[in-house]
Amino acid sequence: MKRDWGRTALRRVWADKVFALALLIAALLILGPLLGPSLWPLSPLDMDFGAPLAAPSLAHPMGTDSNGRDVFARFLTGARISLAVGAVVVLAGLIVGGTIGVVAGLGGRIADSILMRLIDALAAFPPLILAMAVTVALGVGLKTAAIGIALSSVPFFARLMRGDILRIKTLPFVEASVAMGAKRSRIVGRHLLPHTTPTMLVQCASVFGYAILTLAGLGFIGLGAQIPEPEWGAMITDGLQYALTGQWWLALFPGLGVLLAVVAANLLADRLEETLNPRSARNQVR
């Protein structure tokens, strides 16, 4: 059984070149920051005043910035930061939002109404504003930025989970579980939640991309990572002023990083959705 699934998965990936590309980018963006900083000899913080603003070369594949720091090293560390924040946001949002969704879906009309109105209130804030408000209230920095972004992602997860739970709990096998005498916790854990996996997985991929983009947005306006942490958004801000004086590499590479990460995340989300959704054309039995 497991072997079969593996082979079909591979076949599917190979057939869909875009999916393969997205996977490749994702793999690079995950492996790169995980291994890169240990493999690449240069440090993102070391300043070399002899060679500031150097154009890309073999020694510095992405050039150096105004303080002589290697941009490639900063790019890799920035990828690490974006990746970490993305993962944290997805996990936190999933756990908090998912729990709210489950409670709302199963808790009866009153609990559902109260919780959903709270979620509506949270969702009324534009995500960037909410993240900004949190960082201003709790102090500027990467940690609070992650909290703010996670908070703004909770409504996505909560609503989706609630909708799924409401749908699944009416399915016949849930009644069968009740009939056999299963406890509620078992029904939720063994029957309801596993069936929400496809939707939630897709949402995770999508929120991952959203988290990276919002973090870059915060970095762009000076919230989020602080000097000298090489976060992509902050690097873009710094690099912009040099765009006009001819040092194009300072803003371009982090910008590309954000772009590729978000595109890959969304492509993956898209393809995952098609693959896991039993009703999609792809999955119809021929």
Partner 1 sequence: MSGISARVRARALAIALAATAASPFAANAAEGPFVINYSLPPPTLDPTIVCDIADNGFLAPLYTPLLRYETKAVAKAPEGVEVTTEDTTKIVGYLAESFTVSEDGKVLTFKLRDGLKFPSGNPLDAAAVKASLEQAWKSGTCGTYFLEAAQFGNTETIEAPDATTVVIRLKRGEPLLAHALTQPNLGIVDVKAVEANGGKAWLAGHAAGSGPYLLADYQPGVRAILKANPDFFGAAPREKEVIVNFITDNATLLLQARNKQADVTLGLSKASVESLKGADGLKIIEVPTSRWQMIALPNQTAPFDNAKFREALSYATPYDAILKNVAHGYGELFFGPYPPQFPAFNPEIGAPRAYDLAKAKALIAESGVKTPVAAEIIIREGQNDQEQIATIAQAAWSQIGVNLTIRKLPASGYQEAVGAKTKTAAIVRFDGPSVDDPAWLLDYDLRCASAYNTSNYCSKDAEALLDTRHGLTRDADRQALWDKIAKIWVADAPRIPVYADVYTAVVSADVKDWHFAQDGPFDLNAWGR
Partner 2 sequence: MSPETATPLLIVDRLEKSFAARNSNPFKPSREKLRAVDGISFTVERGETFGLVGESGCGKSTAARAILRLVEPTGGRVSFDGIDIAGLAPEPMRKLRRRMQMVFQDSTGTLDPRMSVRDLVEEPLIVHGLGDAAARRAKVDAMLELVGIRPEFATRKPHQFSGGQRQRIGIARALVLEPELVVLDEPISALDVSVQAQILNLLKDLQERLGLSYVFIVHDLTVAEFFCDRLAVLYLGQVMESGAASELFSNPQHPYTVSLLSAVPRVGTKGSNRIILEGEVSPLGSGASTGCAFRARCPVGRDRPICASDRPVLAPRGTGDHTVACHFPGELRAAP
Q: Which residues are near partner 1 by CB under 8 A?
A: 45-47, 49, 52, 66-68, 222, 226-228, 236, 239-246, 248, 251-252, 255-256, 258-259
The SS3 of residue 278 is coil
Binding partner at 195 among partner 2, partner 1, none, C-beta below 5 to 8 Å by kind: partner 2
For residue 4, count CB atoms less than 10 angstroms from its CB and return exposed for 0-12, middle for 13-18, buried for 19 or more.
exposed
Closest to partner 1 by CB, 90 or 145: 145
Name every residue whose Cβ is closer than 8 Å to that of residue 209 and which is 6 or more positions away in sequence: 86, 261, 262, 263, 264, 265, 266, 269
Closest to partner 1 by CB, 138 or 171: 138
Among 6, 46, 129, 173, binds partner 2 (CB under 8 A): 173
Binding partner at 227 among partner 1, partner 2, none, C-beta below 5 to 8 Å by kind: partner 1
110 binds partner 2 (CB under 8 A): no
In DSSP terms, which residues pair with 70 in a beta bridge? 64
120 binds partner 2 (CB under 8 A): no
Closest to partner 1 by CB, 194 or 228: 228
> What string marks each residue from 179 to 198 as x (binds partner 2 by CB under 8 A) or -?
xxxxx--x---xx--xx---
Binding partner at 99 among partner 2, partner 1, none, C-beta below 5 to 8 Å by kind: none
**Under 8 Å between Cβ of 214 and 125:** no
Name every residue whose Cβ is closer than 8 Å to that of residue 137 and which is 6 or more positions away in sequence: none
Binding partner at 47 among partner 1, partner 2, none, C-beta below 5 to 8 Å by kind: partner 1
Closest to partner 1 by CB, 61 or 222: 222
**Which of 69, 70, 52, 79 lies closest to 247 in space, CA to CA?**
52
Binding partner at 181 among partner 2, partner 1, none, C-beta below 5 to 8 Å by kind: partner 2
Name every residue whose Cβ is closer than 8 Å to that of residue 83 and which is 6 or more positions away in sequence: 29, 30, 33
Q: At 242, which amino acid appears?
A: Y
Closest to partner 1 by CB, 69 or 159: 69
In DSSP terms, which residues pair with 64 in a beta bridge? 70
For residue 188, give both structure tokens: 């939720």
> Site residues (CB under 8 A) for partner 2?
1, 171-173, 175-183, 186, 190-191, 194-195
